[in-house]
Structure formats: C-alpha cells, structure tokens
Amino acid sequence: MKYRRAEDSPLFTKLKGEEHMIIAQIIANGILMGFIYALVSVGLTLIWGVMDIINFAHGEFLMISMYTAFWMFSLFAMDPLIALPICTILIFVIGVLTYLGIIRRVINAPGLTALLATFGLSMFLKNLAQFLWTPNFRYINNSMVSGKTIELGSIVIGVSQVVAAVASIILTVAVMLFIDRTRTGKAIQATALNKNTALLMGINTKKIYAITFGLSGACVGAAGALMATFFPIYPASGALYSVLAFVSVAMGGFGNIKGALFGGLIIGLAEALGGYMLGTQFKYAIVFLIYLIVIQVRPKGLFGW
C-alpha cells in the first residue's frame, strides 16, 4: 500500500470516485504511521536532549530490532508482537553497551568526534547485517496481525498498523511519564539541563547517560518489532526511518519529547497526503519541504526553547 499510488491499491477500488473518502483514508494512514515515527523520534530526541549527541546509528538499532523480530519469527515461530519485549530489552542493552563502549570515551572530545563515532557505528552495523544476513528483503508474512483489516465506515485500515500505532502511543506516553514523574526521570531532566549541577546533587551522570542510551534503544527496539509486521526487513531498512526521525526531531525542537511526537505526526501526514496528491515518488520531497519551511520560520523547531 505504501509503495503504490493510493488509488491503485485494491483497498480503494470500491471507493473510486469518492475523493473525500480517500482523503479520510489517507489521513488515517498518515496518523497511524505518524505515531510510529513519533516513537522512533522520541528515542532520538532523548539522547540529544540529555547528551547533546546525535546518534546516527539510531536507524541501525531499528534495523537490528526488525531482524530480531524476523529471526524470532522464522526460527521459533514467535509472533513479532510477542517478540516485542525481547526486541525492546535487546536494543536497550545494545544502547547501554554503545554508551559504555563508544560514547563514554568520546563524549568530552571536541566537536564532531561523537557524531563521527555514531556514524561509524551506523556503517558498521549496516554492513555487518549485510554480511550476516545478505542484502535480501525479508518479510514477516503471517504474523497474527498481518493482512487483517478493520473497516470504519468506508475507511479501511490494516490491523498491523493500528496495533503498531496504539502500542507506539502507549510507549511514547510511558516514556513521557517516566521522564516527568519518576526519580530517575527527574535525574535525567536535571542532567539534561545542567550536567555539573546534577553532579552536585549527587546524581551519577554517567549512569544517567547509560540509562538514556538504553531508553532510547528501548523506544526504537519496540518500534522495530512493530514495524516488522508490515515493512520489509533488510540491512538498510532502518536508514530511511532514522532520516525521517532526524527531520521530526529537528522540526519538533531538538531534545523535546512532545516536539518529537508532533514532528512524527506531521511527517506521517505529510508523507501520506503528499504521496497521494503528488505521487509517491514525491512524498519525501513534501516531508522535507515542510521541514525546511518550519525551520525557516522557527529555527529551534515547533517546541524548541
């Protein structure tokens, strides 16, 4: 559905001629995708907000999670939705290890060092995946949610997208509440606002950094398992979504979780509506155009301070 002009999709043949119904359909699809983009973006914005580091390997974390879901499915017949906690925990651990093994050593280095380190990690993971699992596209065809649809009036939506969107909303809200309400969450906020003063409060900021990287990984790990139910899985499958996540994070305001949520929604909608009105080959052009306009008008993003 995503790769064709919307009106060519078999889902819509019965709707032909009912333009406004199609628009409603497109908007529904856009919003559903938007929530998933939001979850990916929340992970990315967390690391920026707390550590001022852009994690270029974010998309590769997503890819590893999708492969994890794939292998759980093909080797153990485990449904991606059941494998979701495994993917989440695995990428949490990978996030923590990335901090301990790489980021911790470069975080105080000048300028671009940390950025280049995550870029290098991204290249490494992409090529490692290609080496281990070939560049072939893989699909999880018969998960418990794939191929099923829900009809709401004349809008038809895929169950896998609905499940992914609902789970993304729940997880995004859970991350927000964690940051906002818990003792560790408040320590994360304090560290983000002023690292040295956080140290003076007795907060182990290195531990907070590790937790932040893990939490970011958990977000993208969960998103990967959800997306594996309806997107192809291949070594570069994370790259596109990490670019989209960069856009939504920049659009929402770097480091702002609420901003990432709205940024994700805007991208989901822009992609769906733009793809429908101008043709799918231009859908990302629309996304980036909106991004360019937003950062011209509000350079710090919609919610930036």
Partner 1 sequence: MLKVKNLKVGYGNVPVIFDFSFQVKQGDIVAIVGSNGAGKSTLLKTISGILKPTGGEIQFMGERIDTIPAYKIVEKGISHVPEGRQVFGKMSIKDNLLLGAFTIKSEEQKTKLLKDVYEIFPILEERQDQKAETLSGGEQQMLAIARGLMSNPKLLMIDELSLGLAPFLVDKVMDTLKIIRNKVTILLVEQKVQEVLEIADWGYVVQNGRLAIEGTGEELLQSDIVKKAYLGL
C-alpha closest to that of 238 among 68, 90, 117, 114: 68
Question: 3-state SS of 194-212?
Answer: CHHHHHHCCCCHHHHHHHH
Question: Nearer Cβ to partner 1, position 162 or 188?
Answer: 188
Q: How many angstroms separate the CA atoms of 293 and 169, rounded?
A: 27
CB of 142 to partner 1, least distance (A): 48
Q: Does residue 182 touch partner 1 according to CB under 8 A?
A: no
Q: Does residue 187 touch partner 1 according to CB under 8 A?
A: yes
Binding track, positions 130-149, relative to partner 1; x by CB under 8 A = --------------------
CB 229 within 8 A of CB 164: yes
Q: Does residue 50 touch partner 1 according to CB under 8 A?
A: no
Q: How many angstroms separate the CA atoms of 107 and 210, rounded?
A: 12
CB of 196 to partner 1, least distance (A): 6
CB of 261 to partner 1, least distance (A): 18
C-alpha closest to that of 283 among 294, 274, 292, 291: 274
Binding track, positions 193-232, relative to partner 1; x by CB under 8 A = xx-xxxxxxxxxx---------------------------
Q: How many angstroms separate the CA atoms of 158 and 203, rounded?
A: 45
Name the one range near partner 1 by CB under 8 A: 66-74, 188-196, 228-236, 237-245.
Answer: 188-196
The helix (run of H) or strand (run of E) holding residue 103 is none
Residues that bind partner 1 (CB under 8 A): 183, 186-187, 189-190, 193-194, 196-205, 305
